[in-house]
Amino acid sequence: MLMPVYYFVIGAFKSRMDIIKHPFSIDLELITTKNFPYAFKHLNYLNAMKNTTIITGFSLLIVVISASLAGYAIARINRKIFQLYYGALVAMMVIPFIGCVIPLTVMSVHLHLYNHLIGCIFIQATWNLPFAIFLFVGFMKTIPKELEEAAYLDGCSTFQVYQKVFLPMLKPVTATCCIRTGVMVWNDYLVSSALLSSNQTPTLMVGVQQFFGSRATEFGYAFASIIFSSLPMVILFLLMQKNFIKGLAAGAVKA
């Protein structure tokens, strides 16, 4: 598991020939940092970072709000239509995304969303929504019904119960959802490469791909660009790891 990480981290500080000759070792005398400024410049890092952050941020916002509301309705409101909807969502989780790329691309062209960040945001959000709802439903089923009943006795409406009883308790599963969805969207290459053809709207993963050519691969530059691309998600996980583990465990109890 750690070997690929070790390989690209040490490779980022080596020349192309040194990587080919000594892939798993590093000579301290041959360490170089020239890969990083080159990768930063040719990756167009700031622009790619901005686009990736916009797509990830808005996708997360849509997913978390929609999943928490849908999760509450499915877990707590006893209506058959919600259970049928939940079954359809769970079934969607087994559909391979690559089979939907062409239809989604055609749809985005007809809706004039092709080569626009908003089209990428909607597709990323809707595709990550089923698993997020699955997590929220499982977590909300673990919350005692007595709390909900007490709120109703105090005169709260259904939405007020959601707002005042459930929302304050959703921190662990929200952290889990944010990390899982954020990593999926941040590291996505397929959707971005299919829907964003302009050089003005690249994402980080699309930018990394430029260092992998059909005739030659600039390994050092590629590894440096991977480090640049990975750092934000690593920092996010370190900040939220306790809630991530707690939410993942709780969400799996009754899902």
Q: Would you list the domain boundaries of the chain? A: 45-207+232-251
Which positions of the chain have pLDDT values less than 70? 1, 198-201, 214-216, 242-255
59 closest CA partner among 132, 129, 124: 124
Q: Give the pLDDT confidence score for residue 253 in this predicted structure.
A: 47
Q: What pLDDT is stored for residue 24 in this prediction?
A: 81
Give the integer Cα–Cα distance in Å for 242 and 235: 13
This prediction's pTM: 0.83
Tell me the residue type at 142. T
What pLDDT score was predicted for residue 255? 46
Q: Exposure string (b/e) for 209-241, b if CB count within 10 Å is 16 or more? A: bebeeeeeebbbbbbbbbbbbbebeeebeeebe
Residue 187, class by beta-carbon neighbours within 10 Å (0-12 exposed, 13-18 middle, 19+ buried)?
Answer: middle
pLDDT at 243: 64
Superfamily of domain 45-207+232-251: MetI-like (1.10.3720.10)
Using one digit for the tens of pLDDT, what is the confidence trace for 35-49?
Answer: 899 888 888 888 899
| pLDDT attached to residue 254 | 45
Residue 57 and residue 201: Cα distance in Å, rounded? Answer: 16
First to last CA, the chain: 28
Distances (CA, A) of 124 to 7, 43, 76: 30, 23, 27
